[in-house]
Amino acid sequence: MNKSINLLAKKNVHNGYQEKFLQGCNWVAVIFLLLTAGSSLLLFIITLNPSLSSIKQQENNMLTNLSFKQGKIAKYLFIQNRLPAITKIIKTRHHIDSTIAAFQHELPEDVNINTIHIVNKTVSMTVYSNSLVSLNTFFTNMTALVHNKTILKKMVLETISANQGVSFYTLSFKGDLL
Amino acid sequence: MKGETIHQKLNLLYFQYKEFILPCVVIFVCLILFMNIVLPQIKDFFSLQNQLATNKNQLQILQKNFQQITELPDEEMNTDFSLVASALPIDRDPVAILTTISRVASVTNLSLKDYSFEIGKISSLNSASIIQIDLSVDGNIQTIRNFIQHLSYGFPLSDVTAVDIVSSSSATIRVSFFAPPFVNRAVDKNEVLKLLTADDKNTLLQLNAWQNGSPE
């Protein structure tokens, strides 16, 4: 009889592998089961966190408290809405009074204003005097205003006329305000 | 005969691997449960966290707003409100305008000849918020200048946009009075009430000074 023939060995090895694999499968199944059940339970407990409802409650309380101050809030919002608009109006409005004052400041004593017309950043003005020298002084002063760029941006001398009957001279000019 | 062979083979496979059926079914069921229950739970958890953070933020904002509003002194608030409302009213108020013009004319000794203006539809949000008035006045240049100056300190706020002085004794003055509409809005839960800026406070001081008769 040939003693090298082994009829059982292969079967035992095969059964050993299968058993180990089965054990592995069982472990994996148990781990899966525990993981699924555990994580589901844990997440359920976490989502039952009462802090959200507590925060919502506090929020509602705060809203109720604020509703008692509604009048004050409305007034505050009104002030907040109006103030920038007021600031803008104050900053952008024309200062015709100071423009007239600046022109008056440049007038020599014997020169008088006859007409002033100011609209849309343009000015036209007529002055009169019985002295041509004074009119010249006024004109020089006005020219300085253009050069200094304080009031006027541009100035055009329109007419100089003489009235022989009442012996005075009239000067009129147009200009663009800054 | 062939069917019998397959049946026998299947039986053989069943008996050979029947211990594997239970763990495989458990793993399969667990996977399905994970996909259908645990994953949505995870998603819910994160959305809950977001909601919690949002609500906490909203609560903080509300608390801050409440604190700010409570800290503002009522009396000061009422004074500022009246001041601002008279400087820049919501509606075009012809009575306030006429009162201001008459008062300023009286203070500056200017003689008002005639004036006319169109009010338009009162309290209309879409209509223009400026009332233009053409005033015919008698007075010398100094008086007219004073009138314009005092008018700029008067309430409602105005802007003299054109002046036509004739013969140094009379003038036509075009004045614009402002009354922009105010749209009242509820406080947004996510918006912190802004405090008044330094510019706003300066404007309030200026308005206060003007109301008390000081031009500066």
Tell me, letter by letter, the H, E, C secondary structure of A139-160. Answer: HHHHHHHHHHCCCEEEEEEEEE
Residue of chain A whose alpha carbon sits nearest to that of B50: A52
Rounded Cα distance, B28 and B23, in Å: 8
CA neighbor of B48 nearest in space, from A47, A161, A7: A47
Instruction: Report yes or no: B51 at the A interface, CB cutoff 8 Å.
Output: yes
Q: Are the CB atoms for A169 and A132 separated by under 8 Å?
A: yes
Q: Compute the average pLDDT of residues B148-161.
A: 90
Structure tokens given for A121: 């950043």
CB-based contact A115 B141, cutoff 8 Å: no
pLDDT in tens, A55-70: 889 988 988 888 888 8
Contact predicate B194/B201, CB 8 Å: no
The yes-or-no verdict on residue B203 having pLDDT over 50 is yes
Query: How far apart, in whole angstroms, are the C-alpha atoms of residue B197 and residue A141?
Result: 42
The CB density around residue B140, as the number of other CB atoms within 10 Å, is 16
Q: Which chain A residue has its CA at the smallest distance from B159's CA?
A: A93
Q: Which residue did the predictor score with more confidence, B169 or A114? A: A114
Q: What are phi and psi of A11, to 5 degrees?
A: -65, -40
**Mean pLDDT, chain A, whole residue set:** 87
β-pair partners for B83: none
What's the gap between Cα A21 and its chain centre?
Answer: 70
% of chain B beyond a pLDDT of 70: 91
Identify from A18, A32, A47, A60 which residue to disrupt to test chain B contact, counting B C-beta atoms within 10 A and taking the largest count. A32
Flag if A94 and B193 touch (Cβ within 8 Å): no
Question: Which of B90-94, B141-145, B209-213 ranks highest by mean pLDDT?
Answer: B141-145
pLDDT at B26: 92
List residues bridging with A156 in a β-sheet.
A174
Nearest C-alpha neighbor of B160 from the set A33, A92, A150: A92
Residue A12: what pLDDT? Answer: 54
Nearest C-alpha in B relative to A96: B160
Return the structure tokens found at B36: 């259908």
Provide, as residue numbers in chain A, all residues whose Cβ is less than 8 Å from the Cβ of B180. 85
Its pTM surpasses 0.90:
no
Give A45's contacts (C-beta < 8 A, 6+ positions apart). none
Calculate mean pLDDT across residues B108-133: 68
Mutate to test the interface with A, among B60, B161, B177, B201 (most CBs of A within 10 A): B161
Instruction: Read off the pLDDT band of B155 (50, 70, 90).
Output: confident
Q: What does the pLDDT read at residue A6?
A: 57
User: Pick the residue with more confidence: B101 or A12?
Assistant: B101
Q: Give CA–CA dist B149/B143, Å, rounded.
A: 10
Sign, Cα dihedral of A129, A131, A135, A138:
negative
- Residues 157-196 of chain B with CB under 8 A from chain A are 157, 159-168, 174, 178, 180, 182, 184-185, 187, 189, 193-194, 196
Q: How many CA atoms lie within 13 A of A125 on its CB side?
A: 27
Measured CA to CA, the distance from residue B141 to residue B148 in angstroms comes to 11
**Residue B126: predicted pLDDT:** 46
Q: Distance between CA atoms of B95 and B108, rounded to whole angstroms?
A: 20
**DSSP conformational letter for B156:** S
A11 vs B169 pLDDT, higher one: B169
Which among B63, B54, B87, B56 has a CA at the least distance from the CA of B154?
B87
Contact A36 B160 (CB under 8 A): no
- Summarize the confidence of residues B136-165 as an average pLDDT: 91
Q: Quick check: B175 pLDDT over 50?
A: yes
Q: How far apart are CA A99 and CA A120, in angstroms?
A: 13
Calculate mean pLDDT across residues B100-117: 83
- Is the bond preceding residue B181 a cis peptide, omega within 30 degrees? no
Lowest mean per-residue pLDDT among A54-63, A156-165, B116-125, B185-194: B116-125
Average pLDDT of the segment spanning B24-51: 92
Is 0.90 exceeded by the ipTM?
no
Q: Is A70 helix (H, G, I), strand (E, B) or coil?
A: helix
